[in-house]
Structure 1
């Protein structure tokens, strides 16, 4: 049974991260408090000044003699009005800038967490779900400071501060204000959060589901139409939207209740202050201007508490986002307790011993007691049908997958001990999936070597026979390739990825179907040039079959990988140590 974690424990990692900007957060809260204090001072002083001038006018009309300094309170009113306006403007500007900085911190930390997840963990969810974590869930956390912590803290300070101030004139008034508005504050924060908890949490999950179904529908539109299932997809979207609408209605009603209670609490506090103040004035304990000043000051607290109901009704969404992000953090692989190591220069030996690997929910293991040895500088070709484990083997050697059992060693060093920088620098892998970003040709190439000059970029493009094509483009190396390389053909994208690999200086090269999508003549020419670059490196070449495959010259030996179904029939083809 899963252990229940309280709200504070759930938010603790993110509060700790926010604490790095403690100075800015306190500065923003101070500006917020200054704006509220100026509003309180404006109404209180205005009430006192209007009443005092009215009473002075009555006294003068009755023939009495009275002196009233109108310049000091008049200047104070102007100062409070100006301070409120400037403080509110600066608070919005400063706090939103702070929140943007916090979001950058949060998103950077979450990207680092996602980058540290292995392929098995990443395979549990769709790409749209991971994007939702990185964008929507992080954006939801911006309410933690700007809409929850800071407004609630400032409102509480304002209630206690005003209650103390009023108690200086008449203690009963101060106690009434703190009692009524303090109780209201508890409901408007904790009570509203509890009231909207379930609906706001469900809304986060339903929004993620809606995005996933919508993206799937758009990506598979041709297939849905071909098989006549568009209506079913629309019904799925309609059902999700109906649930979202129902929860939104519940949250709207809860927020409306909270707003009504906030107005009622301020009204009751005003009425209690006015009644107690009137009694004190009647008893001669308070002057008329002070008696009017106190309830007007209470009215100003409406500005402090009005935003609390809506924000805390949605607090469940913030908690849900934090829990989901915490689950990602907990899914990271535990760091090895052994001292970190780095790979040596030169070709790398590869040893896999007793490897077992099964994907979650898979019908058969990918590897079971699998062993492989590649000597330093050797070139080994592995061939097998789809599902035999070729890509999984590449993922094991690059640290993207962690075996369930067994050991992976490079240059006689356990992969778990290697630093990420060392592994990235000394192991290069061309996967079946060509990863290109919506940026220029040069930027996509410089992912492998940020310091590469244009001459070197043109050189690697020439190796894969893309230089002439790139020179014919209007912007040459600055030409954008589109999202995922959509502006390129499949063969061009594949060659661009191979050119990027040539900018590296690895000791182990893993080539997974390197010439897929290329015509045989072009593949043979590139293979010849590639052979010169591969000299002095260990090479693992992964293909579907030996027949008809273009491979770099010099492959020392070929071995076959069996699919899980063949293994179940008793065909031994997994142990490749010989």
Structure 2
């Protein structure tokens, strides 16, 4: 089972470089992130002030009480330190509450931005790149990998910055009374901070990568096992599959055990750094106290203040040991940007060709696009046979035709080639005389309208799903689209009308309603070429005729391709009455042509 993580360099510097694009996304929230760090620093400094003032006040009160008991004259201002203690206690509580609320709100906004960027990259990728990986892998990147990146700010950058400021504040406080001890303390804290951040991240990088890869492989294997459980049981392969899953679990547990050991080492070092700081300040204070340079209250105050280091250092070992997960997630998400960059980018010359080749808007007055296919074929990467056998045809602007062929003959592949979703075909495919691979993808998306066999619907209202095709469409325009596909009466009977939610994946709709809703969404656009893949599937004869009649005015003047299994112009099936031409496609593979059944 091959690993699904792309890596070109395992070095720590390369990993940091892979984070740069996502740090740039974080930079768009610069003000919110800086304010979040300020709130964290305020919480830590309040803890430092609370310990310091409390230690001084308790010691000073004890000494004053002892002096009064001994009959000595002594005074102590209890109001100022008391007010300081209350101030630091309240500010620590309030600032921590606001910081948690504010930073988590920022992270949710940031994750939405990151997920939108990732989804945009997936949308821009061509079909061959998308098909090179399992859909579960892309879903894992869109969800788990994006969620992993929330640690970049919330658990890595912000706590490290806060710990650095807290350490500097403690050194500055100690330097007021113990300058020499403060210098040694600064060196100790700087070393400890460097190791607990960069050192822990470097030490746990390899194990963390193994854990991320192992977790993904186990997740994918479990999904595949559950999906094919009946087949595995039928062929007696379930025991072997269980063994493979156990081996993946063992690898994952080994990586997690290694990370636990590294985290434990970091926690020990944290304790040593905080303990060393405490002893250093205490010994330096005792020496100064013996020389009469330091009062007893301050002697107690400084070591207690050093205990506030736990506020900044305690969370660093566990967070930075897992930093490799963020690096791996960033590398995997960068692969999406790199995968869509080549097809999405076009040279100036290519864009000039695209603009020159687009004089029409797809309206009836301007006409459709001319299509020319010459020895057009396509083979998917690592496929045994061609998905599309050599095909030759020409459609004049505004002409309508049915592309007919059995399942697997390449009809959906032809649709993807016309839409620019697939590249790397053999032969020649042109639109208005221009090679389709040279045309700008944005122009293609506006001029080629496709209804695929699978209609993507989101858990949103009817109106929101329709407006994916035309964001500015008015409610009247939406109703016109529903009338065209014979869904208006149904939509008017819904309690919420256009605001009725369709459910996740459109599960509140039947298969026929979902396809018609997808057709209505396409109706709202203005393409010059319309490609409909089995548009009347799942519809009864009467509904198919009504839908066909409803979209006839919209199809007028456009070039139309219907992808169907069979079409006879002399005896058309319901909905196909207005398609006069048939283009036959050969079977996609030799065994299909011979009518054989092949078990893979």
Matched, 1:562 2:589: no
* Cα distance in structure 1, aligned partners of 2:302 and 2:71: 29
TM-fit CA distance, 1:147:
0.6
Q: 1:541 aligns with which of 538, 543, 562?
A: 562
Give the SS at the match of 1:332: helix
Q: Name the residue aligned to 2:302.
A: 294
Contact 1:159 1:177 (C-alpha < 8 Å) held by counterparts: no
CA distance in 2, matches of 1:193, 1:478: 49
Shift of 1:249: 3.1
Residue 381 of structure 1: how far off its partner (Å) = 2.7
Q: Which runs of 5+ in 2 are unaligned?
A: 1-6, 594-600
Q: Is the 8 A contact 2:166 2:312 kept in 1?
A: yes
2:347 pairs with 1:337: yes
1:483 paired with 2:493, answer no
Give the C-alpha shift of residue 554 in structure 1: 4.8
| Residue pairs, 1:81-120, within 5 angstroms | 81-120=89-128
Question: How far does the alpha carbon of each residue in 1:12-58 deviate from its partner, in whole angstroms, 9 at most, with x for none?
Answer: 11111111221111111111111111111221222222223333333
Q: Does the 8 A contact of 1:357 with 1:365 survive in 2? A: yes
Deviates more, 1:314-323 or 1:99-108: 99-108
Is 1:498 the equivalent of 2:522?
no
Comparing 471-480 and 505-514, the one that deviates more: 471-480
Instruction: Find the aligned partners of 1:473 and 1:225 in 2 and give their Cα distance.
Output: 45
Query: TM-score, length-normalised on structure 1?
Result: 0.88
How far, CA to CA, are the matches of 1:463 and 1:285 in structure 2?
92
Range with bigger deviation, 438-447 or 281-290? 438-447
| Superposed displacement of residue 157, structure 1 | 2.3
Distance between the aligned counterparts of 2:502 and 2:10, measured in 1?
48
Change (3 A) 1:357 1:85: same
| 1:332–1:55 distance in 2 versus 1, CA, 3 Å | same
Unaligned runs of 5+ in 1: 570-578
Which whole-Å CA distance do the structure 1 matches of 2:49 and 2:43 have between them? Answer: 10
Partners of 1:51 and 1:292 within 8 A in 2: yes
Which residue does the alignment assign to 2:203? 195
- Give distance in 1, aligned partners of 2:236 and 2:440: 51
State how far apart, in whole Å, the 2-side matches of 1:78 and 1:525 are.
Answer: 76
Are 1:174 and 2:182 an aligned pair? yes
Q: How far is 1:81 from its partner?
A: 1.8
What do residues 501-530 of structure 1 show as CA deviations (whole Å, max 9, x unaligned)? 333332111122223344556545544554
**Which residue is equivalent to 1:362?**
383
Against the structure 1 CA distance between its residues 486 and 215, is the aligned structure 2 distance closer, same or farther, given a 3 Å change threshold? farther
1:7–1:434 CA distance, 2 compared to 1 (3 A): closer
Q: Equivalents in 2 of 1:70, 1:186: separation in Å?
A: 40
Change in 2 beyond 3 A, CA 1:420/1:280: same
User: Contact 1:344–1:411 at 8 Å: present in 2 too?
Assistant: no
Deviation at 1:456, TM superposition (A): 5.2
Q: Distance in 2 between matches of 1:490 and 1:23?
A: 47
Q: Cα distance 1:465–1:356, how it changes in 2: closer, same or farther (>3 A)?
A: closer
Tell whether 2:397 aligns with 1:373: no
1:300-329 Cα distance to aligned partner (Å, 9 max, x none): 111110011111111111111011001111
Question: What SS does the corresponding residue of 1:376 show, helix, strand or coil?
Answer: coil
> Cα 1:441–1:230, aligned 2, differ >3 Å: closer, same or farther?
farther
After TM superposition, the score normalised by the length of structure 2 is 0.85
CA RMSD of superposed structures (Å): 3.2
Alpha carbons of structure 1 residues 353 and 294: separation in structure 2 relative to 1, 3 Å: farther
Tell me how far 1:94 sits from its aligned partner: 1.6
C-alpha distance in 1 between matches for 2:17 and 2:590: 49
Are the counterparts in 1 of residues 460 and 501 from structure 2 also a CA contact under 8 Å? yes
The superposition leaves residues 326-350 of structure 1 with CA deviations (integer Å, 9 ceiling, x where unpaired) of 1111111331112462551231222
Q: Which moved more, 1:363-372 or 1:281-290?
A: 363-372
Q: Hey, what's the Cα distance between the residues in 2 that align with 1:54 and 1:306? A: 32
Output the CA distance in 1 between the equivalents of 2:498 and 2:233.
39
- Offset, 1:442: 4.5
State whether structure 2 residue 416 is matched by structure 1 residue 388: no
2:389–2:588: 8 Å Cα contact kept in structure 1? Answer: no
1:473–1:479 contact (8 Å) kept in structure 2? yes
Q: Where does residue 575 of structure 1 map in the other structure?
A: none
Q: Tell me the equivalent position of 2:445.
A: 424
How far apart, CA to CA, are the structure 2 residues paired with 1:74 and 1:524? 85
Q: Distance in 2 between the 1:489 and 1:289 partners?
A: 78
1:144 paired residue number: 152
1:513-549 CA distances to partner (integer Å, 9 max, x unpaired)?
Answer: 2233445565455445544442211112222344686
Q: CA deviation at 1:457?
A: 4.8
**1:576 is matched with which residue?**
none
Give, in whole Å, the separation in 1 of the partners of 2:61 and 2:508.
77
Secondary structure at 2:535's aligned position in 1?
coil
Q: Cα distance, 1:96 vs. partner?
A: 1.3
